[in-house]
A and B are shown apart, each in its own frame.
Chain A
């Protein structure tokens, strides 16, 4: 397989995953707001922080209100993680490797692209947003389902898969990060700045449930942990569970299987193993108690960046 083609498939995987995650995230944020008393502003602002693109946002918008933040994530052609831009890039990547992408999935991507052209404004009004985002999520699942059920498990598939899992691990870790950054100030604001030690606000549970829901993880989490939703258990689940397909550990494990199936994989597999070990060896309870989760997630992000660099150097870049 051509190196260039491998690279485009990898990015196709990443963008497809990004579209779906972004749509889920906005959908859930919109819904949880309906459950909570004011101030909503806090929550919308924190959404910008998820992709670490605060500077890009600040360049073009003055207020981080609902309309602007949703616009930034759905319709902004200059935001590389907006749905519009990700769909355009996914389509562009698919178009350049059209001979490999099963035609049914290509039609799905093209169809999503056309749908966005005509309906993107619907995301900006609350009433139509849910239907719009659900359509986007369904389209992604249709596309990925087509790939999953018709592509041979050859190198093309492994690169696509690697891109999807790395993006997903990255996105899950960011969502956990924002959950932490968001929930604690929020809860303490609700209680006038002093939350008694060892107690839990009813909103804390609601917020963590929304974090789970944004990853479609609530149902699976519930089957595993039937008790009241608690921070340490949610974070442990989302970072370390090997069975839930959006948990970071699961993604890294699946990623490693993909890399294993490719030629000359040694350095990339090593980087993958390192990242997986870092996630699995963490004592989440202790890290949370020490208030060190954000810093820990930063180390994960560094691992992901190194993993990406190893994949790029091994398979995409021409030999120096």
Chain B
């Protein structure tokens, strides 16, 4: 029996493919029609073929459970998420605008600090942030850029408006899955590519290499770019290795590097030490250099900060860049865009209450049952309260935590994430999704066409993190 969209009902949510039962959005028309031409059985077979392809291609992610690391097959759903090209152009401009402003801000925080004097952002908010690094004061990285690679999370509300939910400026991950998802789709749904034009995404790794190479402190010489990973037990190891491979860069671990007497960074090779120019580091600030930060870090390189501060090596992202992805700073980003660029923000923020402010805190505590409360610097969806889904007891416990440490919490209304048709055990059903595009800034900007779409596989759930049972989809910008 052929599949029919008549029975597919996203309810009051914004669905990416189906505008109302039986009606397709223009960008998704070809996909929806193709699926309609298949039987339920065929759809299921494709999904199984895709899962097998993921396994044989060795696309995995690592989860920590009971003290051990488990290498799991990457969850992928065959139905792509489609976005129209004209809509995307606007999002792209908005993301570029945002990262540009954030980089101005970080550079200002560690140099002139005009933003405090002009009363745009309170000084103590930044100086108290756990991501603020006093060791970076006075540093002027090339192009004034600190966050070279940014992964911003976008969501769509009921009316279809895109909002930025958060910016990830430390070590955002997921781009390798975006690239691999496209490859899987090509393997299992080749005929879908014949009927329409979607923007290619494979250029990302070249753009990343160019961005990194542009940071090299040595003129003339062909820059030696390396990817610094904490090692195979890290949950994003797959991606570190993948990006190194795609860029033709060495994948190094801390012990592979050392800082010489000349303050330059070298890697240990079979022919002796070799100078390193740019380090795309995928380890957190605090583990970078045991001489400056966490003294017992075995992941980092002693003397690395000294080499960086002297301009002998470039670090991407720069240490201290995380000061701007704090969720408390997030609330100021629209103001920062106006302040540094003199422009109105193209993509809005989700309305956010800062629990550090008295009136906002009172509002949050009174409305916990309708709000989502998040710790200011956690990632991966950990430690948050989804008010409407929590029990009275959980809410009371959370209220105590907010009162004890208000600076650490922000609250937002529960945004109704958009949905996308997803292959579920019971057939094709709507599931909530978000989107993580990746933005690069070095000598110039680059935005991935689309990004990584994550899916909450559990019915009605908003939790899209792969570490908590989320899945993923290929994302198509359709022209």
B interface residues, tally (CB under 8 Å):
23
- Give residues of chain B (33-59) contacting chain A, Cβ–Cβ below 8 Å: 55-58
Inter-chain contact A2/B58, CB cutoff 8 Å: no
Q: Is B341 interfacial (CB-CB < 8 Å)?
A: no
Residues of B within 8 A of A98 (CB): 241-242, 245
Q: Is B433 interfacial (CB-CB < 8 Å)?
A: no
Inter-chain contact A114/B55, CB cutoff 8 Å: yes
Residues of A within 8 A of B249 (CB): 99
Among A2, A3, A6, A114, the most chain B Cβ lie within 10 Å of the Cβ of: A2
Residues of A within 8 A of B256 (CB): 2-4
Residues of A within 8 A of B252 (CB): 2
Looking at the assembled complex, report how far the CB atom of B477 sits from the nearest CB atom of chain A, in whole angstroms: 26
Given A2-B252, A99-B241, A110-B268 contact (CB < 8 Å): no
Given A96-B232, A99-B251, A107-B58, A2-B241 contact (CB < 8 Å): no
Complex CA distance for A59 and B256, rounded to whole angstroms: 38
- Give residues of chain A (1-38) contacting chain B, Cβ–Cβ below 8 Å: 1-6
Closest residue on chain A to residue B226 by CB atoms: A2
Inter-chain contact A110/B250, CB cutoff 8 Å: no
Residues of B within 8 A of A95 (CB): 58, 232, 237, 241
Complex CA distance for A111 and B256, rounded to whole angstroms: 30
A interface residues, tally (CB under 8 Å):
25
Residues of A within 8 A of B270 (CB): 1-3, 6, 155, 262-264, 315
- Extra A-B contacts (18), CB below 8 Å, given A2-B256, A95-B232: A1-B269, A1-B271, A2-B250, A2-B267, A2-B268, A4-B256, A5-B251, A6-B270, A92-B232, A99-B249, A107-B57, A110-B58, A111-B56, A155-B270, A263-B270, A263-B271, A264-B271, A264-B272
Complex CA distance for A303 and B267, rounded to whole angstroms: 32
Complex CA distance for A2 and B228, rounded to whole angstroms: 13
How many A-B pairs have beta carbons closer than 8 Å: the answer is: 62
Residues of B within 8 A of A110 (CB): 55-58
Residues of B within 8 A of A100 (CB): 245
Complex CA distance for A111 and B52, rounded to whole angstroms: 10
- Give residues of chain B (163-215) contacting chain A, Cβ–Cβ below 8 Å: none
Among A1, A95, A99, the most chain B Cβ lie within 10 Å of the Cβ of: A99
Q: Is B77 interfacial (CB-CB < 8 Å)?
A: no
12 examples of A-B residue contacts, CB within 8 angstroms? A1-B269, A2-B250, A2-B252, A2-B270, A4-B253, A6-B270, A99-B244, A106-B58, A110-B58, A114-B56, A155-B270, A263-B272
- Give residues of chain A (42-81) contacting chain B, Cβ–Cβ below 8 Å: none
Q: List the 6 closest pairs (A to B, CB-CB), nearest first.
A: A99-B245, A263-B271, A110-B58, A99-B244, A98-B241, A315-B270
Complex CA distance for A82 and B56, rounded to whole angstroms: 23
Complex CA distance for A2 and B252, rounded to whole angstroms: 8
